[in-house]
Amino acid sequence: MTDILPFLKTLISTSGVSGNETPVAKLIEEKWRPLVDETRLSRVGSLHGLKHGSGKKRPSILIATHMDAIGMRVSHIVDGFLRITNVGGIDVHVLPGAEVTVHSTGGADLPAVIAMPSSKLLPESAGDGALEIGYLLVDTGLTPREVEKKVRVGDLVSFANEPMELAGDIVSGHTVDNRASVAALTVCLEELQTKPHVWDVWAVATVQEETSYLGAYTSAFEIRPQIAIAVDGTFAKGPGANGWQTHTMGKGVGLCIGPNMHPFLHKKLKELAERLEIPWFLDVTTSHSGTDAYPMQVTAEGIPTALVEFPIRYMHTPVESVSVKDIQRAGRLLAEFIASLDENFVDTITWDE
Amino acid sequence: MPTFGTSQLKLLEKLCNVIAVSGDEGEVRKIVLEEIKDHADDVRVDALGSVLATRLGRGAKRVKVMLDAHMDEVGFMIVADEGEGIYRFESVGGIDARHLVGKQVFVGKERAAGVIGGKPIHLMDASERTRKVPVDSLRIDVGLAGKAKVGERAGFATKFRRVGPSIMSKALDNRFGVATVIELFKHAPSNIDLCAAFTVQEEIGLRGAKVAAQFFNPDLAIAIDSTPANDLPHFDETENATYNTKLGFGPAIYIADGSTLHDPRLVRFLQAVAASAKIPHQLRQPGGGGTDSAAIQRALAGIPTVSVSVPHRYTHSPVSISRVDDWKNTLALLHTALKKITMDLIGKR
């Protein structure tokens, strides 16, 4: 198995805030092009990579990994400082002191920092808790004149801290959610280079998962796969998170059950993981899984859908952390699952009643 | 004084990128000793860890001038090991906990990579989303196989960078002061005996400066530090009248802060020097805060003391921002002033 770490670090260092995924889409396309038979972009910007199967009849499977990132957008410019609003589910706790990049209309990427003004500059109602995003300012270190020249309302702002490797095979940085899944799908495609498969495989990096699931809705509709699998992070146990929703990181792949997921696919993935001795754990969601599995399941006349996961610590912070081993495991399980599909698999999908 | 340029900025960068939390200033001390050793008549590391260096002038009637800059920065100490790479920590110095969630740190002398995480927003209830997260519910995570030790210090992992007219870095408070005193020490005028005090533990009570002043017993002292510029827009865009200092307006001369009434003779002297040499400068708004000058002024039988600071925004946070020109003008002001110091300055009040 190739080492996915360098690609993952490049992935999480490349911008792609929801709605503006082009930079990361280009990077992924470059990586996937030699691994698939064709690549193209959907009408809304999701990246489709098609790897042909060997069967006479070729049913297709769609693996969806969203490539967009949560971020911010300039809402107002005052005295050379930028006010911002969120794109996706930003936790305001992480913003003061965060290193960011302002992607300016002028084309330049401006390094900047998110500033928390002193309480003297805020209304009393702002309180001494976590400040609302509307009170924060972005400082580019440039003079007001330079800022007026370069930046426009609407320009994107993304997190900019560099990835860190922590002891024990852990990668930490922003946008690990969900570039780690893009990395897992890449591992899967690499494995499939030497693993025969009957089915067509659509590797898809979706857009706007964090805001509207736009990519997953539209790609699933265009491709109309027989089955679909979303790959995404789940919550890792760790400081501040120890409830039933959390799982030990570094200990395997999560296979999720709940209303968005077809129980038959779950059962097959589980049996396969056990046969291959790929460590796995059961994850459950009571209703909306909050992943691309949710939109794909209800696309067209409905698609049997599964959700494969791995634990991520500190989700939606700039220090999201993931075990590289878990990513490799998820990639391998996906490849083995694809290789296990025969021409008639769809007809065997049943309800266990 | 040589032309201001890359060599000064390189020195500042080197100083900013090492971590020297109060009580553990070794990394900065190493750089200071290396930089000054060829220029000093006497160098010693005192009982607390401050570097005290003397460079003698020539001729009679030399004034003994103490230049003070604290080497330490705010940061963290590991206080308990919770297993599997997770550690409790406490802040050292005044850090607003709201700057900590989601930040990267280096731990210990080996600079082990670590992060201060936060609970995922998806798992928070409505009140948690707006509540401040106190330090005692945060942890430093160095990875599943990570090993840190109780007692080790940690600091922000952000790197120094130059951006347009500015510098972005951690610890500008007070590596500006350290770099300034190193430069002045290397290019000291001969009319003074220069006593350089690179002090420890300023952020936790001005402790190094107190004994440094007692050791040197100077005729006068200048504490060189970095002070907040709160020159951001008011939320409703009305006038900000409590800016403390502003970036781009030059070195900030202190008149009075929360702990010192700065010696008026020295304040007037610095203003006059700046005016006659046409060096941009500003008066720090009288108010709170403090520098090593508080400890120095009241040492022994009293030492005439003033403070000069390079302004920075976002104090004690992972990234502060300053203007290169403000530092350049700080160096110019102090170097010009040192050349003009005579005993008459403090001979009469």
353 residues of chain A, pLDDT tens digit each: 679 999 999 999 999 999 999 999 999 999 999 999 999 999 999 999 999 999 899 999 999 999 999 999 999 999 999 999 999 999 999 999 999 999 998 889 999 999 999 999 999 999 889 999 999 999 999 999 999 999 999 999 999 999 999 999 999 999 999 999 999 999 999 999 999 999 999 999 999 999 999 999 999 999 999 999 999 999 999 999 999 999 999 999 999 999 999 999 999 999 999 999 999 999 999 999 999 999 999 999 999 999 999 999 999 999 999 999 999 999 999 999 999 999 999 999 999 77
Q: Is the dihedral of CA A276, A280, A284, A287 positive or negative?
A: negative
Residue spans of the domains in chain A: they are 5-69+174-348, 72-159
CA B263 to chain CA centroid, Å, is 21
**Closest to A119 in 3D by CA, of B54, B303, B230, B157:** B230
Of B129, B166, B233, which has the smallest distance from its Cβ to A141's Cβ? B166
CB-neighbour burial class of residue B124 (10 A; exposed 0-12, middle 13-18, buried 19+): middle
User: Looking at the domain B6-73+170-347, which fold is it?
Assistant: Aminopeptidase (3.40.630)
8 Å CB contact of A239 and B319 = no
The partner residue sitting opposite A122, judged by closest CB among B133, B161, B235, is B235
* Residue from A139, A140, A209, A325 whose CB has the most chain B CBs within 10 Å, to mutate: A139
Cα separations in angstroms, B81 against A286, B78, B101, B137, B140:
35, 8, 19, 14, 10
Phi, psi of B55 (to 5 degrees): -125, 115
- Residues in chain A within 8 Å Cβ distance of B240: 121
Residues of B within 8 A of A125 (CB-CB) are none
The chain A residue lying nearest B156, using CA atoms, is: A97
Query: Min CA distance, B233 vs chain A (Å)?
Result: 7
- The strand order across the sheet containing B166-169 reads B161-163, B166-169, B320-323
Does the beta-carbon distance from B230 to A118 stay under 8 Å?
Answer: yes
Nearest to A94 among B101, B232, B313 (CB): B101
A291 close contact with B: CB closer than 8 A: no
A146 CB neighbour count, 10 Å cutoff: 16
User: B26 φ, ψ to 5°?
Assistant: -50, -40
Whether A207 and A66 have beta carbons less than 8 Å apart is answered as yes
Amino acid occupying residue B233? P
How far is Cα A76 from Cα A184, in angstroms, rounded to an integer?
38
pLDDT digits (tens, 9 = 90+) for B240-274: 999 999 999 999 999 999 999 999 999 999 999 99
Of A121, A127, A164, the CB nearest to B240: A121
* Residue A326 token pair: 């878990």
Q: Is the pLDDT of residue B347 over 90?
A: no
The residues of B that are catalytic are 202
Cα B252–Cα B253–Cα B259 angle in degrees, nearest 5: 105
**The predicted structure's pLDDT at residue A55:** 87
Extract the tokens encoding A320.
């999201």
What gap in Å lies between CA A156 and CA A16, rounded to an integer? 10
| Burial label, B292 (beta-carbon count in 10 A; 0-12, 13-18, 19+) | buried
Q: Which residue of B has its CA nearest to A177?
A: B120
In this prediction the ipTM stands at 0.94
Interchain CB distance below 8 Å, B116 and A137: no
Rounded distance, CA A204 to CA A212, Å? 16
Q: How many CB pairs under 8 A join A and B?
A: 215
Give the residue on B whose Cα is nearest the Cα of A109.
B163
Contact assignment for B144 to A89 by CB distance below 8 Å: no
Residue B90 — very low, low, confident or very high, per pLDDT cuts 50/70/90?
Answer: very high
Does residue A228 contact residue A62 with C-beta atoms inside 8 Å? yes
Q: How far is B83 from chain A (nearest CA, A)?
A: 11
Q: Does the beta carbon of A128 lie under 8 angstroms from any beta carbon of chain B?
A: yes
Q: How many Å apart are CA A343 and CA A345, to the nearest integer?
A: 6
Q: How far is B102 from chain A (nearest CA, A)?
A: 5
Distance of CA B95 to the CA centre of its chain: 14
Q: Is A240 touching B (CB cutoff 8 A)?
A: yes
CB proximity under 8 Å: A 146-175 to B: 146, 161, 164-170, 172
Query: Can you say how many angstroms the Cα of residue B182 is from the centroid of all Cα atoms in its chain?
Result: 13
Cβ-based neighbours of B83, under 8 Å, separated by 6 or more? none
Eight-state DSSP code of residue A134: G
pLDDT at B59: 87
Give the architecture-level CATH label for domain A72-159: Beta Barrel (2.40)
Whole-prediction pTM: 0.95
Bridge partner residues of B66 (DSSP):
B195, B221
Would you call B142 and A97 a contact, using CB atoms and an 8 Å cutoff?
no
Spatial distance between the Cα atoms of B264 and B51, rounded to a whole number of angstroms: 28
Q: Which residue, among B171, B155, B184, has the nearest Cα to B68 in the 3D structure?
A: B184
Is there a contact between B137 and B131 (Cβ–Cβ < 8 Å)? no
Contact B119 A319 (CB under 8 A): no
What would the two tokens of residue A281 be? Answer: 């754990």
SS3 of B269, please?
helix
Helix, strand, coil fractions of chain A, as percent rounded to 5 = 30, 30, 40
Which residues on chain B are in Cβ contact (under 8 Å) with A318? 102-103
Q: Nearest residue of B to residue A239 by CA position?
A: B139
User: What is the model's pLDDT at position A318?
Assistant: 97
Instruction: Mutation target for B interface from A124, A317, A324, A326: give the one with most B CBs within 10 A.
Output: A317
Say yes or no for a CB contact (<8 Å) between B165 and A143: yes
Three-class HEC string of A290-351:
CCCHHHHHCCCCCCCEEEEEEEEECCCCCCEEEEHHHHHHHHHHHHHHHHHCCCCHHHHCCC
* Residue A300 forms contact with B (CB below 8 Å): no
Say whether A129 and B138 touch across the interface (CB within 8 A). Answer: no
Q: d(Cα B27, Cα B46) in Å, to the nearest integer? A: 16
Residue A221: is it exposed, middle or buried by C-beta count within 10 angstroms (0-12/13-18/19+)? Answer: middle
Q: Which two tokens stand for residue B142?
A: 């160095």
Q: Which residues of B touch A5 (CB under 8 A)?
A: none
Looking at chain B, which residue has its C-alpha nearest residue A290? B122
The DSSP annotation for B176-230 comes to HHHHHHHHHHHT--TTEEEEEEEES-STTTSHHHHHHHHHH--SEEEEEEEEE--
CB contact under 8 A, B143 and A170: yes
User: Whole-angstrom Cα distance, residue A314 to residue B124?
Assistant: 12
C-alpha B91/C-alpha B173 separation (Å) is: 16
> Backbone phi, then psi, for B285, in 5-degree steps?
-60, 130
Are A98 and B129 inside 8 Å of each other by CB?
A: no
Residue A258 to residue A58: CA distance in whole angstroms: 29
pLDDT of B157: 98
- Any idea where the domains of chain B sit in the sequence? 6-73+170-347, 77-156
The domain A5-69+174-348 is placed in CATH, from the list 3.40.630.10, 3.40.50.300, 3.40.50.720, 3.40.50.170, at 3.40.630.10
H/E segment holding residue B52: strand B51-55
**CA distances to A64, A253, A310, B347 from A233, in Å:** 12, 10, 5, 72
Task: Report d(CA A12, CA A179) in Å as an integer.
Answer: 6
Determine the residue of chain B that is closest to A165 in CA distance.
B113
Q: Nearest 10 degrees: CA dihedral of A280, A281, A287, A291?
A: -40
Does residue B154 have a pLDDT over 50?
yes
CB contact under 8 Å between B240 and A97, yes or no, is: no
Within chain B, residue ranges assigned H as helices are 6-17, 26-36, 126-130, 172-186, 207-216, 264-276, 293-297, 324-340, 344-347
User: Which of A319, A322, A323, A325 is the best mutation test for B, with the most CBs of B within 10 A?
Assistant: A319
Query: Using the 8-state DSSP alphabet, how is residue B97 labeled?
Result: G
pLDDT surpasses 90 at B346: no
Nearest alpha-carbon partner for A172 in B213, B293, B113, B201:
B113
Asked if pLDDT for residue B101 goes beyond 50, the answer is: yes
Joined tokens for residue B191: 């009319």
Question: What average pLDDT does chain B have?
Answer: 96
Using CB atoms and an 8 Å cut-off, which of residues 67-96 of chain A contact chain B?
A: 78-79, 81, 89-94, 96
Residues 6+ apart with CB under 8 A from A109: A15, A101, A102, A103
> Chain A closest CA to B336's CA: distance in Å?
28
Q: Looking at domain B77-156, which of 2.40.30.40, 1.10.3720.10, 2.120.10.30, 3.40.50.300 is its CATH number?
A: 2.40.30.40
**What's the angle, vertex CA A310, arms to CA A21 and CA B116, rounded to 5?**
80
| Cβ <8 Å between B117 and A314 | yes
For A208-279, list the strands marked E by DSSP: 227-236, 246-247, 253-257
* CB-based contact A89 B122, cutoff 8 Å: yes
pLDDT score recorded for residue B349 = 42
Looking at residue B21, the DSSP 8-state letter turns out to be: B
What φ, ψ does residue B153 adopt, rounded to 5°? -95, 155
CA angle, B91 as apex, A86 and A112 as ends, to 5°? 35
- Determine, for residues B164 and A140 on separate chains, whether the beta-carbon distance falls below 8 Å: yes
Provide the percentage of residues in chain B whose pLDDT is more than 90: 95
B96 to A116: CB separation less than 8 angstroms, yes or no: yes
Token reading at B207: 């402790």
State the Cα–Cα distance between residues A243 and A237, nearest whole angstrom.
8
